[in-house]
Structures are given as structure tokens and as C-alpha cells.
Amino acid sequence: MKEKSRIQTVINWLGPFLGLILVMVIFSSIPEVRDRFLRVPNLKSVATQSVIVALGAMGMTLIIISGGIDLSAASNIALSSVITAFAINAGFPPLLAIFLGVITGGLIGLANGSLITSLRLVPFIVTLGMLGIARGIAKWTAGNQKIDAPLTWVNELMAKSPRPSWLLMAPGVWMMIIFAVVMAVVLRYSVFGRHIFAIGSNEATARLCGIRIKRTKIIVYSLAGLFCGLGGVMEFSRLTVGDPTVAVGLELDIIAAVVIGGGSLSGGSGSILGSMIGVFIMSFLRNGCTMMGWPNYIQEIIIGAIIVVAVALDQIRHRKNF
């Protein structure tokens, strides 16, 4: 009995990693890609490609645990990248430009949170509206074209070979890792984190226990907005231009990552670690498929199937527990 429960805990602990390991094992055993797939340069490039979705997924994890959703994440990323480009182009110092980009994201998130709590609308509707509004503002700001900006150190945030070279990975990747650790700790060990879980698990109970639901939700959406803003800065860094049409549909990738990682759309469950694994499962799949020379549509079909299978497996795992 005890033995069994120990195995169970091991499986439960490994559970989220299994999918990722499976994907990596599959690709590293296919002869065509074997000698390139698990190589440092490739791993670096996968990590760099994951940064933007990962940053978005950190905020999205909080929102989904609280029982909400944010459809405006990708538009927010585009808007923030345009604002950053705009600021650099206008001759602002890079640091200020980054700051403005991140703050723009935060403001969009703040608007989401405030509208959801004050108008008592469902998050789906508010953020669906914001998806259009933010994208529109981005195009407007950019004059419906790309904003070229002079090269600065901002563009090195996402460089595959970073300077100084002892960094080994792009500064953006390091930021992703640091923020992931910080957010994981906040979610698990902070009062704020517990409140998010309580709201998502049962909002009525949370209210009864004196948790300030409106305030908590506004903070959650603002924080998620800030992460999207940072994602936007990374997007700009990668593209070296501010493109208002970038990242269309990326919000679905972000949501998929959270859901693959065990987040429940009805709220109350999810984790940063899980979401990050979700992000990497998708990145490795894309990377592997590209290496195989498979066309885009194959990737789409596989990732679509992965989402359904991952969530189904997760549910079975939880059902077995009790």
C-alpha cells in the first residue's frame, strides 16, 4: 500500500515532464535529425524561440488559475513591441524604451482587470474586445506599417550568441528562467498566490473568507499584462522592427501551453512549471518538425492532437488519485 503510494507520488511528480521527455526521445531517435536535435546550438535556439510564449504563459497561468482567460495577450505583445520600437526610433534611451514597452503591456492588463471587475463581464468577452482594441492601437501607432528602429543593445536581448559570451544563452532566456522561478515561488508560497488559487477554486468561498477579489483580479491581469509587455520587448528585439501585425494567434499558443501544463480552464489548478513544460513541448515539436522538413500543416495537426491528449491524460491522472 505504502509502496504503491510512493510509486504514485513519483509518477505524479514526473507526470508533467513525461510529455516533454517523450517528445525529446522521439526526435532524438529519428535518424534524420538525431545528430542535430540534442545539440547545444539547437537547444539554444529552441530556448530563444520559447521566450516570448513563455513570458506570456507566466501571466496566463495566473489568470487561468484564477478562473479567467486572456485573449488579448498576443495583441498586447504586438502593441508593446510597436511602442518599444516607436520610443527607440524617437531617440529615447533604450532602457526607457523598454520601460515604456513593458508599462504599455501592464496598462492593457490593468484595463482588462478593471473592466472585468467593475462591469462584471466575463473575462472572455472583455479580453476578446481588448484583442481588437490593442491590435488596432498598435497599427494606428505604427501608421499601419513596420516601424524601423536603429540597432541598439535591446536587439541583443534575443541574440543567439550573446555578448559577453560567458552568458552562454541570450539574456532573454535568462530573464525567462529567472521570472519563471520567481513566479513559481510567488504562486506556491505567497499569500497572493494562495488567494489566486482560492478565487479560481471557489470565488464565493474566497469572498466569504474576506479575500479582496476585485483587487486580486486586477493585480493578476495587470501582472499578466506586464509579462506581455516584456514579451513585446523581446519580440521587438528579435525582429529589430516594430511590427503591428506580429504574433497573430499567439494567444492560443500561450493558452495551449498553460492547458498542456495542467491548467484548468474552470480555474483552481495550474502551475508555472507545468506551463513552462507546455511551452517547451510545443517548441521542441515545432523545431523537430522543421528539422524533418515536414510542412507547417503537419506541425499544426500534431500540436492540436497533443493538446487534446495532454489534457485527457492529465484528467485521468487526477481521477485516479481519488
Partner 1 sequence: MEGVSKRFGATCALDNVDLELQKGEVHALLGENGAGKSTLVKILSGAVRPDSGTIFLEGYPFSPSSPLDSRKHGISMIYQELNLAPHLTVEENIMLGREMHRGGFIRQKEMRNKVRKALELIRHTEISPDLQVKKLSVGARQVVEIARALVEEAKILVLDEPTSSLSQEDSEILFQIIKRLKTQGVSIIYISHFLEEVQKVADRLTVLRDGKKIHSGNTIEVSLEDLIQMMVGRKLVDMFPKIPHETGDVVLCLDGLKGKRMQAEVDLSLRHGEILGLAGLIGAGRTETLRTIFGLDAVEKGSLTVRKIRTSKGAPWTRIRQGMGFLSEDRQNEGLASSLSTVDNLTLSNFSPYRSFGFLRLKKRRKAVRDYIKQVNIKVQDSNQPVFSLSGGNQQKVALARLLHQKADIFLLDEPTRGIDVISKSQIYEWMGQLASNGKAIVFVSSYLPELLGICDKIAVFYRGRLVDMRPTCEWDAQSIMTAATLGRPG
> Which positions touch partner 1 (CB under 8 A)?
189-192, 194, 197-198, 201-202, 204-212, 268-269, 322
Q: Residue 9 Cβ, how far from partner 1 at the closest point, in Å?
A: 12
DSSP-assigned states of every residue in 48-117:
HHHHHHHHHHHHHHHHHHTT---TTHHHHHHHHHHHHHHHHHTT--HHHHHHHHHHHHHHHHHHHHHHHH
- Rounded CA separation 243/151 (Å): 15
Q: Residue 189 Cβ, how far from partner 1 at the closest point, in Å?
A: 5
Q: Residue 116 Cβ, how far from partner 1 at the closest point, in Å?
A: 18
Q: Which helix (H) or strand (E) holds 147?
A: strand 147-148
Angle between helices 250-260 and 73-89 (to 10 degrees): 130
Nearer to partner 1, 13 or 322 (CB): 322
Nearer to partner 1, 101 or 270 (CB): 270
Q: Extract the C-alpha cell encoding 34.
A: 538525431
Q: Extract the C-alpha cell encoding 90.
A: 524617437
Q: Residue 54 Cβ, how far from partner 1 at the closest point, in Å?
A: 24
Q: Residue 16 Cβ, how far from partner 1 at the closest point, in Å?
A: 18
φ/ψ of 164, rounded to 5, equals: -65, 155
φ/ψ of 241, rounded to 5, equals: -130, 160
- CA angle, corner 147, sides to 145 and 149, nearest 5? 165
DSSP type of residue 39: S
Nearer to partner 1, 52 or 219 (CB): 219
Q: Residue 179 Cβ, how far from partner 1 at the closest point, in Å?
A: 17
Nearer to partner 1, 138 or 223 (CB): 223
Nearer to partner 1, 24 or 211 (CB): 211
Q: Residue 149 Cβ, how far from partner 1 at the closest point, in Å?
A: 37
- Rounded CA separation 203/206 (Å): 5
Nearer to partner 1, 160 or 212 (CB): 212
Angle between helices 40-65 and 272-292 (to 10 degrees): 140
Nearer to partner 1, 9 or 290 (CB): 9
Q: Residue 318 Cβ, how far from partner 1 at the closest point, in Å?
A: 10
Q: Do 60 and 258 form a contact (C-beta atoms < 8 A)?
A: yes
Nearer to partner 1, 92 or 192 (CB): 192
Secondary structure (3-state) at 232:
helix
